Protein backbone atom coordinates (compact mmCIF):
# COMPACT_ATOMS: atom_id res chain seq x y z
CA UNK A 1 0.00 0.00 0.00
CA UNK A 2 1.38 3.38 -1.05
CA UNK A 3 1.17 6.00 1.70
CA UNK A 4 1.82 9.70 1.32
CA UNK A 5 3.38 11.22 4.43
CA UNK A 6 3.28 15.01 4.45
CA UNK A 7 5.99 16.50 6.67
CA UNK A 8 7.67 13.09 6.53
CA UNK A 9 11.15 14.45 7.22
CA UNK A 10 10.14 16.14 10.48
CA UNK A 11 10.50 14.75 13.98
CA UNK A 12 7.30 12.71 14.16
CA UNK A 13 6.94 12.13 10.41
CA UNK A 14 10.39 10.56 10.02
CA UNK A 15 9.70 8.01 12.78
CA UNK A 16 6.37 7.13 11.23
CA UNK A 17 7.99 6.70 7.79
CA UNK A 18 10.55 4.26 9.26
CA UNK A 19 7.74 2.29 10.87
CA UNK A 20 5.68 2.24 7.67
CA UNK A 21 8.65 0.93 5.68
CA UNK A 22 9.30 -1.70 8.35
CA UNK A 23 5.67 -2.80 7.97
CA UNK A 24 6.05 -3.14 4.18
CA UNK A 25 4.16 -0.03 3.15
CA UNK A 26 5.64 1.95 0.30
CA UNK A 27 6.14 5.63 1.14
CA UNK A 28 6.09 8.95 -0.66
CA UNK A 29 7.19 11.95 1.41
CA UNK A 30 6.40 15.57 0.73
CA UNK A 31 8.02 18.21 2.92
CA UNK A 32 8.88 21.88 2.46
CA UNK A 33 12.02 21.54 4.66
CA UNK A 34 11.08 24.61 6.71
CA UNK A 35 11.56 22.80 10.02
CA UNK A 36 13.29 19.65 8.83
CA UNK A 37 16.51 18.64 7.18
CA UNK A 38 17.08 16.80 3.93
CA UNK A 39 19.73 14.69 5.68
CA UNK A 40 16.88 12.84 7.44
CA UNK A 41 16.12 11.20 4.12
CA UNK A 42 19.45 9.33 4.08
CA UNK A 43 19.00 8.44 7.73
CA UNK A 44 15.57 6.95 7.04
CA UNK A 45 16.99 4.94 4.12
CA UNK A 46 19.92 3.75 6.26
CA UNK A 47 17.69 2.61 9.09
CA UNK A 48 15.11 0.90 6.94
CA UNK A 49 17.26 -0.32 4.07
CA UNK A 50 14.34 0.48 1.79
CA UNK A 51 13.78 3.02 -0.94
CA UNK A 52 11.24 5.77 -0.80
CA UNK A 53 10.23 8.76 -2.85
CA UNK A 54 10.74 12.34 -1.67
CA UNK A 55 9.48 15.55 -3.19
CA UNK A 56 10.03 19.07 -1.87
CA UNK A 57 6.62 20.62 -1.94
CA UNK A 58 4.73 23.41 -0.24
CA UNK A 59 1.21 22.34 0.65
CA UNK A 60 -0.01 25.93 0.65
CA UNK A 61 0.70 26.27 -3.09
CA UNK A 62 -2.38 25.07 -4.90
CA UNK A 63 -0.73 24.50 -8.28
CA UNK A 64 2.03 22.38 -6.71
CA UNK A 65 -0.51 20.28 -4.81
CA UNK A 66 -2.73 19.78 -7.86
CA UNK A 67 0.19 18.77 -10.05
CA UNK A 68 1.57 16.46 -7.39
CA UNK A 69 -1.69 14.49 -7.19
CA UNK A 70 -2.04 14.42 -10.97
CA UNK A 71 1.33 12.67 -11.06
CA UNK A 72 0.60 10.48 -8.02
CA UNK A 73 -2.98 9.35 -8.45
CA UNK A 74 -1.99 5.88 -7.18
CA UNK A 75 -1.58 7.06 -3.58
CA UNK A 76 -3.68 4.82 -1.35
CA UNK A 77 -3.47 6.55 2.01
CA UNK A 78 -2.35 9.85 3.54
CA UNK A 79 -0.79 10.70 6.90
CA UNK A 80 -0.71 14.45 7.36
CA UNK A 81 1.99 15.95 9.61
CA UNK A 82 3.10 19.00 7.62
CA UNK A 83 2.37 21.99 9.86
CA UNK A 84 3.99 24.68 11.94
CA UNK A 85 4.09 23.68 15.59
CA UNK A 86 5.56 26.32 17.85
CA UNK A 87 3.01 27.57 20.36
CA UNK A 88 5.07 30.67 21.11
CA UNK A 89 5.67 31.57 17.47
CA UNK A 90 1.99 31.11 16.71
CA UNK A 91 1.10 33.78 19.28
CA UNK A 92 3.55 36.17 17.62
CA UNK A 93 2.65 35.35 14.02
CA UNK A 94 -0.93 34.05 14.12
CA UNK A 95 -1.68 34.61 10.42
CA UNK A 96 1.36 32.61 9.39
CA UNK A 97 0.00 29.69 11.42
CA UNK A 98 -3.57 29.94 10.17
CA UNK A 99 -2.36 30.31 6.61
CA UNK A 100 0.08 27.43 6.69
CA UNK A 101 -1.76 24.86 8.79
CA UNK A 102 -5.29 25.47 7.56
CA UNK A 103 -4.54 26.08 3.87
CA UNK A 104 -2.34 22.98 3.77
CA UNK A 105 -5.16 20.88 5.20
CA UNK A 106 -7.76 22.26 2.79
CA UNK A 107 -5.65 21.77 -0.34
CA UNK A 108 -4.64 18.28 0.70
CA UNK A 109 -8.24 17.21 1.29
CA UNK A 110 -9.32 18.86 -1.93
CA UNK A 111 -6.79 17.21 -4.25
CA UNK A 112 -5.96 13.84 -2.66
CA UNK A 113 -7.69 10.78 -4.13
CA UNK A 114 -11.22 10.37 -2.73
CA UNK A 115 -12.14 7.76 -0.17
CA UNK A 116 -8.62 6.69 0.85
CA UNK A 117 -7.56 6.44 4.53
CA UNK A 118 -6.57 9.83 5.95
CA UNK A 119 -4.78 10.23 9.28
CA UNK A 120 -4.38 13.68 10.77
CA UNK A 121 -1.65 14.60 13.23
CA UNK A 122 -3.60 16.43 15.92
CA UNK A 123 -2.82 17.31 19.52
CA UNK A 124 -4.29 17.17 22.99
CA UNK A 125 -4.11 20.94 22.76
CA UNK A 126 -7.59 20.80 21.15
CA UNK A 127 -9.03 20.16 24.64
CA UNK A 128 -7.83 23.52 25.96
CA UNK A 129 -7.66 24.07 29.71
CA UNK A 130 -9.24 20.91 31.07
CA UNK A 131 -10.45 20.45 34.63
CA UNK A 132 -10.62 16.68 34.74
CA UNK A 133 -7.84 14.20 34.13
CA UNK A 134 -7.29 11.77 32.57
CA UNK A 135 -8.69 13.49 29.48
CA UNK A 136 -10.94 11.40 27.29
CA UNK A 137 -12.00 12.03 23.70
CA UNK A 138 -15.52 13.09 24.69
CA UNK A 139 -14.08 16.20 26.32
CA UNK A 140 -15.36 19.11 24.21
CA UNK A 141 -13.01 21.57 22.56
CA UNK A 142 -11.83 24.15 25.07
CA UNK A 143 -10.90 27.74 24.54
CA UNK A 144 -7.85 27.48 22.25
CA UNK A 145 -4.74 28.46 24.23
CA UNK A 146 -2.88 29.67 21.13
CA UNK A 147 -3.37 30.15 17.37
CA UNK A 148 -1.46 26.86 16.99
CA UNK A 149 -4.06 25.10 19.15
CA UNK A 150 -6.82 26.79 17.21
CA UNK A 151 -5.43 25.52 13.88
CA UNK A 152 -5.58 21.95 15.23
CA UNK A 153 -9.24 22.45 16.20
CA UNK A 154 -10.04 24.03 12.83
CA UNK A 155 -8.37 21.21 10.90
CA UNK A 156 -10.38 18.64 12.86
CA UNK A 157 -13.56 20.60 12.18
CA UNK A 158 -12.72 20.73 8.46
CA UNK A 159 -12.25 16.95 8.49
CA UNK A 160 -15.60 16.62 10.16
CA UNK A 161 -17.38 18.78 7.57
CA UNK A 162 -15.74 16.83 4.79
CA UNK A 163 -16.84 13.59 6.42
CA UNK A 164 -20.44 14.81 6.65
CA UNK A 165 -20.55 16.02 3.07
CA UNK A 166 -19.06 13.00 1.30
CA UNK A 167 -20.27 9.49 0.64
CA UNK A 168 -16.81 8.07 1.11
CA UNK A 169 -14.43 9.64 3.57
CA UNK A 170 -12.37 7.64 6.01
CA UNK A 171 -10.41 9.67 8.53
CA UNK A 172 -8.79 9.47 11.92
CA UNK A 173 -7.45 12.28 14.03
CA UNK A 174 -4.69 11.27 16.44
CA UNK A 175 -4.40 13.60 19.41
CA UNK A 176 -0.86 13.35 20.70
CA UNK A 177 0.07 14.18 24.25
CA UNK A 178 3.83 14.88 24.75
CA UNK A 179 6.00 12.97 22.25
CA UNK A 180 9.62 12.57 23.33
CA UNK A 181 12.64 10.39 22.54
CA UNK A 182 14.14 9.14 19.33
CA UNK A 183 14.76 6.10 17.19
CA UNK A 184 17.14 3.64 18.95
CA UNK A 185 19.63 3.98 16.08
CA UNK A 186 20.23 7.58 17.14
CA UNK A 187 19.97 8.59 13.48
CA UNK A 188 16.67 10.45 13.63
CA UNK A 189 15.19 12.50 16.44
CA UNK A 190 13.92 15.92 17.38
CA UNK A 191 16.11 18.60 15.86
CA UNK A 192 14.54 22.01 16.34
CA UNK A 193 16.13 24.62 14.08
CA UNK A 194 15.72 27.26 16.77
CA UNK A 195 16.04 27.18 20.56
CA UNK A 196 13.90 24.26 21.76
CA UNK A 197 10.63 25.14 23.48
CA UNK A 198 9.79 21.67 24.73
CA UNK A 199 11.14 20.22 27.92
CA UNK A 200 13.09 17.17 26.76
CA UNK A 201 15.08 18.65 23.86
CA UNK A 202 15.91 21.64 26.05
CA UNK A 203 17.00 19.36 28.89
CA UNK A 204 19.25 17.18 26.71
CA UNK A 205 20.87 20.28 25.22
CA UNK A 206 21.61 21.57 28.73
CA UNK A 207 23.14 18.26 29.79
CA UNK A 208 25.31 18.08 26.67
CA UNK A 209 26.55 21.62 27.32
CA UNK A 210 24.85 23.30 24.38
CA UNK A 211 22.76 25.38 26.80
CA UNK A 212 23.53 26.63 30.24
CA UNK A 213 20.62 25.78 32.43
CA UNK A 214 17.09 24.47 32.30
CA UNK A 215 14.37 26.61 33.81
CA UNK A 216 11.51 24.71 35.39
CA UNK A 217 8.48 26.83 34.68
CA UNK A 218 6.83 27.14 38.09
CA UNK A 219 6.79 24.95 41.20
CA UNK A 220 3.68 26.37 42.81
CA UNK A 221 1.11 24.25 41.01
CA UNK A 222 -1.19 22.02 43.04
CA UNK A 223 0.63 18.82 42.10
CA UNK A 224 2.81 16.26 43.85
CA UNK A 225 5.92 18.51 43.79
CA UNK A 226 4.44 21.77 42.53
CA UNK A 227 5.49 21.27 38.90
CA UNK A 228 3.20 20.56 35.93
CA UNK A 229 2.11 17.04 35.07
CA UNK A 230 2.24 15.75 31.49
CA UNK A 231 1.90 12.48 29.60
CA UNK A 232 5.25 11.82 27.87
CA UNK A 233 5.08 9.24 25.12
CA UNK A 234 8.01 7.61 23.31
CA UNK A 235 8.01 8.64 19.64
CA UNK A 236 8.46 4.96 18.72
CA UNK A 237 5.14 4.19 20.39
CA UNK A 238 3.55 7.18 18.72
CA UNK A 239 4.82 5.96 15.33
CA UNK A 240 3.16 2.59 15.90
CA UNK A 241 -0.19 4.23 16.56
CA UNK A 242 -0.20 5.42 12.93
CA UNK A 243 0.17 1.89 11.63
CA UNK A 244 -2.72 0.91 13.89
CA UNK A 245 -4.78 3.82 12.52
CA UNK A 246 -4.09 2.99 8.87
CA UNK A 247 -4.83 -0.70 9.48
CA UNK A 248 -8.05 0.19 11.26
CA UNK A 249 -9.21 2.36 8.35
CA UNK A 250 -8.27 -0.37 5.86
CA UNK A 251 -10.22 -3.02 7.72
CA UNK A 252 -13.45 -1.03 7.90
CA UNK A 253 -16.45 -2.36 6.06
CA UNK A 254 -18.00 1.07 5.80
CA UNK A 255 -16.79 3.66 3.28
CA UNK A 256 -17.57 6.48 5.68
CA UNK A 257 -15.78 6.89 8.98
CA UNK A 258 -14.36 9.56 11.24
CA UNK A 259 -13.02 9.27 14.75
CA UNK A 260 -10.42 10.75 17.08
CA UNK A 261 -8.06 9.01 19.46
CA UNK A 262 -5.77 10.04 22.28
CA UNK A 263 -2.17 8.99 21.84
CA UNK A 264 -0.49 8.95 25.23
CA UNK A 265 0.60 6.52 27.91
CA UNK A 266 -2.16 7.36 30.37
CA UNK A 267 0.44 8.22 33.01
CA UNK A 268 1.03 11.70 34.37
CA UNK A 269 4.62 12.69 35.28
CA UNK A 270 5.78 15.96 36.83
CA UNK A 271 8.64 18.04 35.41
CA UNK A 272 10.77 17.32 38.47
CA UNK A 273 9.98 13.60 38.30
CA UNK A 274 11.08 13.62 34.67
CA UNK A 275 14.35 15.37 35.52
CA UNK A 276 15.05 12.84 38.30
CA UNK A 277 14.22 9.95 35.99
CA UNK A 278 16.58 11.36 33.36
CA UNK A 279 19.36 11.61 35.95
CA UNK A 280 18.78 8.03 37.07
CA UNK A 281 18.56 6.63 33.53
CA UNK A 282 21.64 8.35 32.18
CA UNK A 283 23.76 8.99 35.28
CA UNK A 284 23.99 12.66 34.19
CA UNK A 285 23.21 15.66 36.36
CA UNK A 286 20.69 18.18 35.05
CA UNK A 287 21.46 21.83 35.85
CA UNK A 288 18.15 23.50 36.54
CA UNK A 289 16.57 26.38 38.38
CA UNK A 290 12.99 27.12 39.28
CA UNK A 291 11.52 29.98 37.29
CA UNK A 292 8.16 31.64 36.86
CA UNK A 293 5.16 29.88 35.41
CA UNK A 294 5.04 29.89 31.60
CA UNK A 295 1.83 31.64 30.49
CA UNK A 296 -0.69 29.24 29.00
CA UNK A 297 0.70 26.09 30.66
CA UNK A 298 -1.86 23.68 32.02
CA UNK A 299 -1.37 22.31 35.52
CA UNK A 300 -2.13 18.73 34.58
CA UNK A 301 -2.74 16.95 31.25
CA UNK A 302 -2.65 13.22 30.72
CA UNK A 303 -4.60 10.88 28.51
CA UNK A 304 -7.37 8.44 29.02
CA UNK A 305 -6.28 5.79 26.52
CA UNK A 306 -9.17 3.33 26.88
CA UNK A 307 -10.85 4.19 23.59
CA UNK A 308 -7.59 3.93 21.64
CA UNK A 309 -6.81 0.57 23.21
CA UNK A 310 -10.29 -0.77 22.56
CA UNK A 311 -10.85 0.44 19.00
CA UNK A 312 -7.36 0.76 17.51
CA UNK A 313 -5.90 -2.08 19.58
CA UNK A 314 -2.91 0.16 20.30
CA UNK A 315 -1.22 0.76 23.63
CA UNK A 316 2.13 2.32 24.52
CA UNK A 317 4.87 -0.20 25.24
CA UNK A 318 7.99 1.80 26.03
CA UNK A 319 8.82 3.09 29.51
CA UNK A 320 9.68 6.70 30.32
CA UNK A 321 13.16 5.50 31.18
CA UNK A 322 13.60 4.08 27.65
CA UNK A 323 12.21 7.24 26.09
CA UNK A 324 14.62 9.46 28.03
CA UNK A 325 17.61 7.23 27.27
CA UNK A 326 16.78 7.36 23.58
CA UNK A 327 16.53 11.17 23.73
CA UNK A 328 19.96 11.30 25.33
CA UNK A 329 21.40 8.83 22.80
CA UNK A 330 20.06 11.05 20.01
CA UNK A 331 21.58 14.17 21.57
CA UNK A 332 24.99 12.46 21.77
CA UNK A 333 24.85 11.05 18.23
CA UNK A 334 23.41 14.12 16.71
CA UNK A 335 26.05 16.43 18.14
N1 LIG B 1 8.91 23.07 30.75
C2 LIG B 1 9.85 23.60 31.60
N3 LIG B 1 10.96 24.16 31.06
C4 LIG B 1 11.20 24.20 29.72
C5 LIG B 1 10.23 23.64 28.84
C6 LIG B 1 9.10 23.10 29.40
O7 LIG B 1 9.67 23.58 32.82
O8 LIG B 1 12.23 24.75 29.30
C9 LIG B 1 7.70 22.46 31.30
C10 LIG B 1 6.42 23.14 30.87
O11 LIG B 1 6.11 24.20 31.72
C12 LIG B 1 5.43 21.99 30.97
C13 LIG B 1 6.27 20.74 30.66
O14 LIG B 1 7.62 21.13 30.84
O15 LIG B 1 4.98 21.88 32.27
C16 LIG B 1 6.10 20.26 29.24
O17 LIG B 1 6.32 21.35 28.37
P18 LIG B 1 6.53 21.14 26.80
O19 LIG B 1 6.79 22.49 26.22
O20 LIG B 1 7.53 20.08 26.56
O21 LIG B 1 5.15 20.57 26.33
P22 LIG B 1 3.68 21.20 26.46
O23 LIG B 1 2.91 20.28 27.32
O24 LIG B 1 3.69 22.62 26.84
O25 LIG B 1 3.27 21.20 24.94
C26 LIG B 1 2.81 20.03 24.34
C27 LIG B 1 3.13 20.07 22.84
C28 LIG B 1 2.37 21.19 22.16
C29 LIG B 1 0.91 21.12 22.50
C30 LIG B 1 0.71 21.05 24.00
C31 LIG B 1 -0.71 20.85 24.36
O32 LIG B 1 4.52 20.27 22.65
O33 LIG B 1 2.53 21.03 20.77
O34 LIG B 1 1.45 19.96 24.54
O35 LIG B 1 -0.91 20.93 25.73
F36 LIG B 1 0.26 22.19 22.04
State residue 131's pLDDT score: 87
Give me ligand 1 centre to Cα 198, in Å. 5
Nearest to 79 by CA among 108, 58, 101, 106: 108
- Ligand 1: does its nearest atom lie under 6 Å from the Cβ of 275? no
Residue nearest atom 31 in ligand 1 by C-alpha distance? 125
Residues in the chain: 335
Ligand 1 atom closest to Cα of residue 85: 33
Å from CA of 73 to ligand 1 middle: 39
Q: What spacing in Å lies between the alpha carbon of 63 and ligand 1's midpoint?
A: 36
Q: What is the pLDDT of residue 193?
A: 80
Distance 199 CA to ligand 1 centre (A): 6
- Write the DSSP assignment of 120-169 as a string of letters: EEEEGGGG-S-SSSSB-TTSPP---SSHHHHHHHHHHHHHHHHHHH-SSE
Using DSSP's 3-state secondary structure scheme, residue 27 falls into: strand
Instruction: State pLDDT tens for residues 237-261.
Output: 999 999 999 999 999 999 999 999 9
Give the whole-angstrom CA distance, residue 190 versus residue 105. 23
pLDDT at 196 over 90: yes
The pLDDT of 280-305, averaged and rounded, is 96
Q: Which residues are catalytic?
A: 148
Give pLDDT, residue 56.
98
- CB of 208 sitting under 6 A from ligand 1: no
Decide: 327 in ligand 1 pocket, CB within 6 A. no
- pLDDT, mean over the chain: 97
Q: Is 37 in the pocket of ligand 1 (CB under 6 A)?
A: no
Position 22 scores a pLDDT of 98
Smallest CA-to-CA distance from 304 within 272, 261, 269, 256 is with: 261
- Residue 13: helix, strand or coil by DSSP? helix
Nearest CA to ligand 1 atom 3: 216
Residue 60: count of CB within 10 angstroms of its CB: 17
Boundaries of every domain in the chain: 2-180+233-264
The yes/no answer on whether domain 2-180+233-264 falls in CATH 3.40.50.720 is yes
Instruction: Please work out whether the CB of residue 178 comes within 6 Å of at least one atom of ligand 1.
Output: yes
Q: Which of 238, 237, 235 is nearest to 189 (CA)?
A: 235
Amino acid sequence: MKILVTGGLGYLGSHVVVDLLKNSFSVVIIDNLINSDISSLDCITNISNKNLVFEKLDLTKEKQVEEFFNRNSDIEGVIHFAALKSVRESIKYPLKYYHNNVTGMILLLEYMPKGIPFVFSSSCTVYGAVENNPIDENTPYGNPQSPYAHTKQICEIIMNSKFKSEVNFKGISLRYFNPIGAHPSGLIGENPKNKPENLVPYLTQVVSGRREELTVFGNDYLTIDGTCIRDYIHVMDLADSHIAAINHLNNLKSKKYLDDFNIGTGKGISVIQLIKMFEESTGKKVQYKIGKRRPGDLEVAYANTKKTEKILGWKSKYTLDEALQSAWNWELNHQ
